[in-house]
């Protein structure tokens, strides 16, 4: 039977992992500078965590969760996102006793049963940051700046930052009233999903993808006109910091998010050229979530980047945006005593920090040189019997074909100097 990977998942082959490592290295360096420390939480949690945290009436919880019952009858779910698990760990390990805000980041796979298409997968990777324990609007701005710097450091441009405030549960009481009043007899024209959601979380109507709902939504009142004093003031300060720091953004009063935990600031970064799945990251404030999962009432704000989408955007734009490392040398031999010497030389060179390949299949010299070329080796170290008697090897520069006699005890120094001269 020919078994293939499950729908909506990806194999990242060796020639692709270099890109991932490139982006991951940028992420770790950026988090170091911004003072975020890595946290690793399980890929599955109690289903209840996501139901309570993300919201019962969200698409993620209603339709997209990989939930299952384990052999002891517990209901567990593969994490559809990282925030709920990080907050659960924060509460469980009493991280609130640390200096606030606690600033954490994570990298890892998330799982959503969505309809797969370019940029939308059932297993995808996120880089996320969460800052828990401060209401400071500058932290919201830091959360917007950090991904912008990441995108820039990777070589991406042409992205757009959209910002909104969706207020707090207090503002939403008034907004809901205004919305219901406005909709009046029109409530029935929304799709069944929206009708249900208008009751539970009216903001969700703004996010519906159905044509007829979108047309109706065009005229509904906007949450930003219903913010309470505290939320309006907070949003004002966010905008002022963004302006002060010269960050380009667009106010989008219709921007709402697909997760119920958000309060106040929400934001999304999009790359228009990516097509339908153009959000390369999104986040916002979630001041009620820590308490919702059993902790003290502590405000928090976070952001997550979809790494596949970031890489798709980089592939589209930047071509070769990272340097693929290549082997320093291919050690070629002719079997017998030359193989015995080859294993010694290979081992020694590797211990000295060089990336060295060799023949494991007893191939001819010609075939070995072909392999060296295919692997992109900079040089070939050719160990012949007559050279061995003279305590030398031939080192061939693969690009030019030039050959040099090099003493056995000079090979490492020769290859290192060559790498420095010709680049990695
Ligand atoms: P989200 O908007 O659901 O937010 O996901 C964040 C990003 O993950 C998206 O902008 C997108 O780049 C990527 N993403 C989401 N679903 C998929 C998918 N099916 N395939 C590929 N990429 C996808 C969150 O997950 C929040 N936890 C973000 C956050 C952190 N808010 C506060 N802290």
Least reliable range by pLDDT among 27-31, 39-43, 179-183, 346-350: 179-183
Q: Do 395 and 339 fall within a single domain?
A: yes
What is the CA(116)–ligand 1 centre distance, in A? 15
Using one digit for the tens of pLDDT, what is the confidence trace for 94-150? Answer: 999 999 999 999 999 999 999 999 999 999 999 999 999 999 999 999 999 999 999
Backbone angles phi, psi at 157, to 5 degrees: -140, -175
What is the CA(70)–ligand 1 centre distance, in A? 26
What is the token pair recorded at 156? 């991406």
Q: Distance between CA 235 and CA 242 in Å, rounded?
A: 11
Backbone angles phi, psi at 411, to 5 degrees: -60, -50
What is the token pair recorded at 76? 């567990």
What is the CA(387)–ligand 1 centre distance, in A? 60
Q: Do 236 and 92 fall within a single domain?
A: yes
Residue 233 lies in a domain: yes
Give the pLDDT confidence score for residue 318 in this predicted structure. 64
Which CATH number characterizes residue 235's domain?
3.30.930.10
More confident residue, 236 or 204: 236
Q: Distance between CA 90 and CA 382 in Å, rounded?
A: 57
Give the pLDDT confidence score for residue 424 in this predicted structure. 53
| Closest of 299, 318, 307, 259 to residue 283, by C-alpha | 259
Q: What is the tally of structural domains in the chain?
A: 3
Nearest CA to ligand 1 atom 8: 306
Residue 83 lies in a domain: yes
Range of the domain at 362: 329-422
Q: What sign has the CA pseudo-torsion 92, 93, 94, 98?
A: negative
Atom of ligand 1 nearest to the CA of 121: 20
Q: Do 153 and 266 fall within a single domain?
A: yes
Q: Distance between CA 155 and CA 153 in Å, rounded?
A: 5
Nearest CA to ligand 1 atom 11: 306
Give the total residue count for the chain. Answer: 424
What is the CA(279)–ligand 1 centre distance, in A? 8
Q: Which residues contact 393 (CB under 8 A, 6 or more apart)?
A: 345, 381, 382, 383, 384, 387, 405, 406, 408, 411
Residue 307 lies in a domain: yes
- Long-range contacts of range 212-219, CB-CB < 8 Å, 24 or more positions apart? 216/186, 216/189, 216/190, 217/254, 219/182
- Ligand 1 contacts (CB < 6 A) are 81-83, 112, 114, 119-121, 124, 126, 128, 130, 258-259, 279-284, 286, 302-304, 306, 308-309
What is the CA(81)–ligand 1 centre distance, in A? 7
Task: Collapse the DSSP code of 92 into the 3-class scheme (helix H, G, I; strand E, B; otherwise coil) and give the result.
Answer: helix
Has residue 423 got a pLDDT over 90? no
Strands of the 67-69 sheet, one edge to the other: 44-46, 75-78, 67-69
Q: Do 107 and 250 fall within a single domain?
A: yes
Q: Do 175 and 117 fall within a single domain?
A: no
Q: Enter the DSSP assignment of 289.
A: H
Give the pLDDT confidence score for residue 210 in this predicted structure. 83
Has residue 202 got a pLDDT over 80? no
Has residue 7 got a pLDDT over 80? yes
Which CATH number characterizes residue 360's domain?
3.40.50.800
What is the CA(208)–ligand 1 centre distance, in A? 17
Task: Collapse the DSSP code of 386 into the 3-class scheme (helix H, G, I; strand E, B; otherwise coil) and give the result.
Answer: helix
What is the token pair recorded at 396? 């061939």
What is the CA(82)–ligand 1 centre distance, in A? 9
Question: Where are the alpha helices (H) located in 69-163, listed in sequence order?
Answer: 83-92, 137-154
Residue 5 lies in a domain: no
Q: Do 94 and 45 fall within a single domain?
A: yes
What is the CA(140)–ligand 1 centre distance, in A? 17
Residue 357 lies in a domain: yes
Q: Distance between CA 269 and CA 147 in Å, rounded?
A: 9
Question: Where are the alpha helices (H) located in 209-270, listed in sequence order?
Answer: 211-217, 229-244
Give the pLDDT confidence score for residue 420 in this predicted structure. 85
Atom of ligand 1 nearest to the CA of 83: 27
Nearest CA to ligand 1 atom 1: 282
Q: Which residues contact 400 (CB under 8 A, 6 or more apart)?
A: none
Nearest CA to ligand 1 atom 10: 281
Q: What is the mean pLDDT of residues 184-199?
A: 80
Nearest CA to ligand 1 atom 22: 306
Q: Do 289 and 396 fall within a single domain?
A: no
Q: Do 333 and 384 fall within a single domain?
A: yes
Give the pLDDT confidence score for residue 70 in this predicted structure. 98
Among the three residues 260, 293, 317, which one is the final residue of a domain in this structure? 317
Residue 324 lies in a domain: no
Give exposure, 136-157, as e/b (b: 16+ Cβ within 10 Å). Answer: bbebbbbbbbbbbebbeebebe
Q: Do 309 and 337 fall within a single domain?
A: no
Q: Do 88 and 129 fall within a single domain?
A: yes
Banded pLDDT at 355 (limits 50, 70, 90): very high
What is the CA(336)–ligand 1 centre distance, in A? 57
What is the CA(112)–ligand 1 centre distance, in A? 10
Nearest CA to ligand 1 atom 20: 120
Q: Enter the DSSP assignment of 58.
A: S
Q: Do 297 and 198 fall within a single domain?
A: no
Q: Do 145 and 90 fall within a single domain?
A: yes
Atom of ligand 1 nearest to the CA of 119: 21
Mutate-to-test residue for ligand 1 from 304, 308, 311, 312, highest number of ligand atoms within 8 A of CB: 304
Q: Distance between CA 240 and CA 415 in Å, rounded?
A: 55
Residue 9 lies in a domain: no
Residue 6 lies in a domain: no
Do residues 37 and 105 touch, judged by C-beta distance below 8 A? Answer: yes
Q: Enter the DSSP assignment of 416.
A: H
Mutate-to-test residue for ligand 1 from 142, 309, 313, highest number of ligand atoms within 8 A of CB: 309
Using one digit for the tens of pLDDT, what is the confidence trace for 29-67? Answer: 999 999 999 999 999 999 999 999 999 888 899 999 999
Mutate-to-test residue for ligand 1 from 49, 104, 126, highest number of ligand atoms within 8 A of CB: 126
What is the CA(115)–ligand 1 centre distance, in A? 15
State yes or no: cis peptide before 101, omega within 30 of 0: yes
């Amino acid at each position: 039977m020919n078994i293939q990977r499950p729908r909506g998942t990806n194999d990242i082959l060796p020639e692709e992992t270099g890109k991932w490592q490139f982006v991951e290295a940028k992420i770790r360096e950026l988090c170091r500078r911004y003072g975020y420390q890595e946290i690793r939480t399980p890929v599955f949690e109690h289903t209840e965590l996501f139901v309570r945290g993300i919201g019962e009436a969200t698409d993620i919880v209603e339709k997209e969760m990989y939930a299952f019952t384990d052999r002891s009858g517990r209901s567990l779910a593969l994490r559809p996102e990282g925030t709920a698990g990080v907050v659960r760990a924060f509460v469980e390990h009493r991280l609130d006793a640390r200096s606030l805000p606690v600033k954490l980041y994570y990298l890892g796979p998330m799982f959503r049963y969505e309809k797969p298409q370019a940029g939308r997968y059932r297993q995808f990777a996120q880089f996320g940051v969460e800052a828990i324990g401060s209401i400071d609007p500058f932290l919201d701005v830091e959360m917007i700046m950090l991904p912008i710097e990441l995108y820039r450091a990777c070589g991406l441009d042409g992205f757009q930052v959209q910002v909104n405030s969706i207020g707090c549960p207090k503002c939403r009481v008034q907004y809901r009233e205004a919305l219901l009043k406005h909709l009046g007899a029109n409530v029935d024209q929304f799709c069944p999903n929206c009708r249900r959601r208008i009751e539970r979380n009216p903001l969700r109507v703004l996010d519906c993808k159905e044509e007829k709902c979108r047309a109706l939504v065009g005229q509904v009142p906007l949450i930003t006109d219903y913010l309470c004093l505290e939320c309006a003031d907070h949003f004002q300060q966010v905008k002022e910091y963004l302006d002060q720091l010269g960050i380009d953004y667009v106010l989008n009063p219709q921007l709402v998010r697909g997760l119920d935990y958000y309060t106040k600031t929400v934001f999304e970064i999009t790359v228009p050229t990516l097509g339908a799945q153009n959000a390369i990251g999104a986040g916002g404030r979630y001041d009620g979530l820590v308490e919702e999962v059993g902790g003290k009432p502590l405000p928090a704000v976070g952001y997550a980047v979809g790494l596949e989408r970031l890489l798709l955007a980089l592939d589209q734009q930047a071509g070769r945006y990272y340097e693929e490392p290549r082997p320093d040398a291919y050690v070629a031999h002719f079997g017998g005593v030359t193989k015995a010497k080859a294993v010694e030389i290979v081992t020694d060179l590797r211990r000295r920090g060089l990336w060295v390949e060799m023949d494991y299949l007893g191939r001819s010299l010609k075939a070995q040189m072909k392999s060296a070329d295919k692997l992109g080796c900079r040089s070939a170290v050719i160990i012949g019997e007559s050279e061995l008697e003279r305590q030398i090897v031939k080192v061939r520069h693969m690009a030019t074909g030039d050959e040099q006699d090099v003493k056995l005890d000079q090979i490492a120094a020769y290859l290192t100097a060559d790498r420095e001269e010709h680049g990695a």
